[in-house]
Amino acid sequence: MAYQVTARKWRPQRFSDMVGQEHIARTLRNAIVTGRIAHAYLFVGPRGIGKTTSARIFAKALNCKHPIDGEPCCECSSCKAIADESSVDVIEIDGATHTQVEKARDICEDVLHLPVASKYKIYIIDEVHMLSKGAWNALLKTIEEPPAHAKFIFATTEVNKVLPTVISRCQRFDLCRIPSELIAKRLEYIANEEKIKISRSALNVIARAADGGMRDAQSLLDQLVSFFGSSSGEETISEEQALSLFGLTAPGEMESLLNSILTNDRTSMILTVHQFAGQGKNLDTLFEEILSWLRGILLCLVLPDPMAVLDENPEKISSYRKLAAVTRPDILQILLEQLAASSYLLRDAINKQVFMETILLKAMRAAHAVKVEDLLIRLNEIRRNGELNGIEKIPTLASIPAYHRPPVMTVPAVPPQVTVPPPVQTPPSIPADPPHPAPAAEETPSVPPSPVVEQSVPIPEPAPAPVAEPGVPAPEAVAVNPPEEKMTESVPAVENHNDQPVMKIDENVTEPVTEIPESVQPVAASSDDDPGEEIAEPVSQELQEELPAALEERNGMSLKERFSAELLWSKLTETILQFQPSVGSVMSSGVADRIENSMIYVNFDAKDDVMIYQIVTKAKNMLVQELRKLTGDRFADITLGLKEGIHTPAVPKRTLEELKRDVSSNPMVMETADLFAGSIVDVME
């Protein structure tokens, strides 16, 4: 007798021989016993699970001359003819080959003839979803109302392609995948009958590779025996041989790989994948196994009895539980979401190893990223444990001794009066220049109030008063800068007893670091008073207006060097607000552009500020007068203009590291980078 493959030789011949489809066998057997036989049946399910086999057994049982409780006897002429595929009353048609409407019309004509030697004329049409729409339309009436002697049995793997009108005319049976344990037992029975020496672990590998299909499992068994079997039959096929042939991974190796993924060990993960690729493992199958393991681990964490859902042996369930102890459900969920969405891309990847490593790294980064919820939980734990109490022990500025504090100089908030002494007897003193832009002053804690004392810079021994040269007018009420070497001396700390604002004196320059309020006017010391104290007396308005110009002429500084355009326009706006609120309130809409040759250029938005521009233009003469008083520059002037897009907010320049840090903290940016598996390379402000 010629050799037959295992799948054909060990094809079930009775309902009792079917594995994993007991619900189908019982239903069909009861239908035969009770005589409730429909005219059309539709068997649905994946490949290799017994659809065509069930149809043949059902046909044998229908035409069997000596049925036993709905089972075919397999001894009568009808059963033998069906088993030999020689029965003229059981017609098998491949729907993938006969798709034309002509074949359907032939069936409609042939169905009218009575069976030759059997009770029923049975049509078994496999892969019925391949029939054309015209062929289905030709069969519809016949399927709905066939002759009493005709029965139709359809089988398909893609029921979604079958017309709903056809499905509604049939009794539908859904066949499920066969559990791996049942496949392994069936293979063990076949191996014992065929005298094949193979370990049970190797049979488990075959069952896992078959993916629920008995026919695939039997074909893999033939392949394994042909590759590793010997003529003597003394060698036993091992699990390692089965794994190497089918490109599968041992459970221990998979457990090591999954442990690397769940613990965020990227180095171990990459090395393991590289090792599998070097061993010739099928990376598509490996990726599917990773998904299967992740699902099993997640179900072990979620379900009290995962064996009710998982089709795995107890040893594998134990491995799932072991890995579940080192992770959390949310991590597994993120890993499954990331990997499952990329599985279809792996099949078309040019370099599958690189692609697999990349998507695994991306999934691990997303799953193990620090989340806000985790930080809040950790902070609450720290707070409950009392670990935040140490923050309260940090010393405040008030508790630091005075000699450890930085030197400060008090500036009274109330405008002091200036005494105008005779020009010849004016001693050297520190001038108070007009306001300059500078960083904000550091605040110091206030102390109990007491008289304000202004600390002057030590001066050398009194020298004869300077005598003006003939023809050169002496300066009036102008403070003279002290010797430069004396300005480098540090100013001791002076207590602020009136809660007045304080500012630091830069030891390397001759002007304060912080900006002096406008209300504070320059103070000159009288030669008749004590050098350590200053007595305030009223000063005339004319002197206050002429003093900045004198200071400018004395210092030799241009308007651009003394002020920035923004600061000068802001000061002018504050001045105008005091006596012309209608003009000053709209001046803030202007944007100071630059200062050139005592001319400040101010622009207004050409779209939104046209009315404001007209108001400010009408008051330009008044603005120029106040600008000259404010700056002391008799040539100061203002140029007003209109410009588009003037209200675009100016953003201070930041470093590249700061921009990258801000962008990296944006959830939307990181989500987009993760979506395209990218990273932040450069940032433009």
The reply to whether 587 falls in a domain is yes
The reply to whether 24 falls in a domain is yes
pLDDT tens by residue, 603-640: 988 887 888 888 899 898 989 988 888 888 888 899 99
Residue 432 has pLDDT above 80, yes or no: no
d(CA 182, CA 203): 11
Q: Which of 509, 531, 557 is the last residue of a domain?
A: 557
- Same-domain status, 168 and 184: no
Contact in structure between 363 and 334 (CB atoms under 8 Å): yes
Please tell me the total count of domains within the chain: 5
C-alpha pair distances (Å), 65 with each of 81, 162, 170: 12, 34, 26
The reply to whether 541 falls in a domain is yes
d(CA 636, CA 603): 17
The reply to whether 653 falls in a domain is no
The DSSP letter of residue 402 is: G
- Same-domain status, 105 and 238: no
Structural domain range at position 503: 407-454+476-557
- Same-domain status, 167 and 37: yes
450 versus 390: which is more confidently predicted?
A: 390
* pLDDT category of residue 299 using cuts at 50, 70 and 90: very high
* pLDDT category of residue 34 using cuts at 50, 70 and 90: very high
pLDDT tens by residue, 232-260: 456 788 888 888 888 888 888 999 999 99
- Same-domain status, 91 and 149: yes
d(CA 53, CA 429): 114
pTM of the model: 0.53
Residue 55 has pLDDT above 90, yes or no: yes
The reply to whether 22 falls in a domain is yes
Question: What's the pLDDT at 211?
Answer: 84
pLDDT tens by residue, 81-104: 998 888 899 999 988 888 888 888
- Indicate which CATH number applies to the domain containing 138: 3.40.50.300
- Same-domain status, 36 and 165: yes
pLDDT tens by residue, 377-419: 888 888 788 766 655 555 555 555 554 455 555 544 445 454 4
Q: Residues 417-432: what's their mean pLDDT?
A: 48
- Same-domain status, 230 and 327: no
Pairing outcome for strands 121-126 and 502-503: unpaired
Q: Which of 217, 245, 273 is the last residue of a domain?
A: 245
- Same-domain status, 82 and 158: yes
3-state secondary structure 638-661: EEEEEECCCCCCCCCCCCHHHHHH
- Same-domain status, 112 and 156: yes
Residue 595, SS3 per DSSP: strand
- Indicate which CATH number applies to the domain containing 227: 1.10.8.60
Q: CB-based burial of residue 46 (10 Å sphere; 0-12 exposed, 13-18 middle, 19+ buried)?
A: middle
Residue 679 has pLDDT above 50, yes or no: yes
The DSSP letter of residue 50 is: S
* pLDDT category of residue 652 using cuts at 50, 70 and 90: low
The reply to whether 401 falls in a domain is no
- Same-domain status, 72 and 100: yes
- Indicate which CATH number applies to the domain containing 350: 1.20.272.10
- Same-domain status, 281 and 364: yes
Question: What's the pLDDT at 442?
Answer: 43
Which amino acid does the sequence have at 498?
A: N
Question: What's the pLDDT at 117?
Answer: 86
Kindly report the average pLDDT of the chain as a whole number: 77
The reply to whether 538 falls in a domain is yes
* pLDDT category of residue 365 using cuts at 50, 70 and 90: very high
Q: At CA 169, angle to CA 165 and CA 170, rounded to 5?
A: 120
- Same-domain status, 421 and 486: yes
The reply to whether 575 falls in a domain is yes
d(CA 478, CA 462): 19
Q: Which of 557, 587, 602 is the last residue of a domain?
A: 557
Any idea which of 73-87, 366-380, 416-430, 502-516 has the lowest mean pLDDT? 502-516
- Same-domain status, 493 and 504: yes
Any idea which of 273-287, 303-317, 535-549 has the lowest mean pLDDT? 535-549
Question: What's the pLDDT at 241?
Answer: 86
364 versus 455: which is more confidently predicted?
A: 364
357 versus 656: which is more confidently predicted?
A: 357
Q: Residues 533-544: what's their mean pLDDT?
A: 42
Range of 270-274, 276-280, 518-522 with top mean pLDDT: 270-274
